[in-house]
Amino acid sequence: MFYRSVQEELKKWKDNPERKPLIINGARQVGKSTALKQFGLENFPKVHYFNFEIESNLRNLFETSLSPASILKGLMIEKDIKIDHQHDLIIFDEIQSCPKALHSLKYFQEDNFKTNICAAGSLLGIHLSSESYPVGKVDEINMFPLSFKEFLLALKLNLLAEELDKEITPHIHGKFWEIWKLYLVVGGLPEVVSTYVSYKDNIFEALTNVREKQKLLINEYIRDMAKHSGKINALHLERVFREIPVQLAKNQDDSVKRFRFSGVLPSVSQYARFASVFDWLNGAGLIFKVPIVDRVEVPIIQHIQESKFKAYIFDVGILSALIDIPPKILLDFDFHTYKGYIAENYVLQEMKCSGVDKVYGWQGTNAEIEFLVSSFSGIIPIEVKAGSVKKAKSFASYIKKYSPEKGFIFGATIPRQDGIVFREPIYRAGITLKNK
- The answer to whether residue 435 scores a pLDDT higher than 90 is no
Residue 27 burial by Cβ neighbours in a 10 Å radius (0-12, 13-18, 19+): buried
At residue 48, what are phi and psi to the nearest 5 degrees? -115, 115
Provide the whole-model pTM. 0.91
**C-beta neighbour count of 97 within 10 angstroms:** 20
- Give the confidence band of 127 by pLDDT, cuts at 50, 70, 90: low
Query: How big is the chain, counted in residues?
Result: 436
Which of 52, 58, 43, 48 has the alpha carbon at shortest distance from 12?
43
The amino acid present at 379, given as its one-letter code, is I
| CATH homologous superfamily of 6-142 | P-loop containing nucleotide triphosphate hydrolases (3.40.50.300)
Dump pLDDT digits (tens) for 132-183: 677 788 999 999 999 999 999 999 999 999 999 999 999 999 999 999 999 9
> What does the pLDDT read at residue 123?
61
Q: Report helix, strand or coil for 311.
A: strand
Q: Strand 309-313 vs strand 360-363: parallel, antiparallel, or unpaired?
A: unpaired
* Span(s) in the chain for CATH 3.40.50.300: 6-142
Q: What is the CA radius of gyration of the chain?
A: 23
Are the C-beta atoms of 433 and 147 separated by less than 8 Å?
no
118 pairs with which residues across the strands?
22, 91
CA distance 304 to 271: 14
At 55 the pLDDT is 92
Higher pLDDT, 391 or 163: 163
pLDDT at 336: 47
Q: What percent of the chain has pLDDT over 70?
A: 92
| C-alpha closest to that of 265 among 218, 310, 232, 223 | 232
**Residue 120 vs residues 21, 32, 160: alpha-carbon distances, Å:** 11, 6, 32
CA distances to 166, 183, 256 from 332, rounded to whole Å, are 27, 13, 23
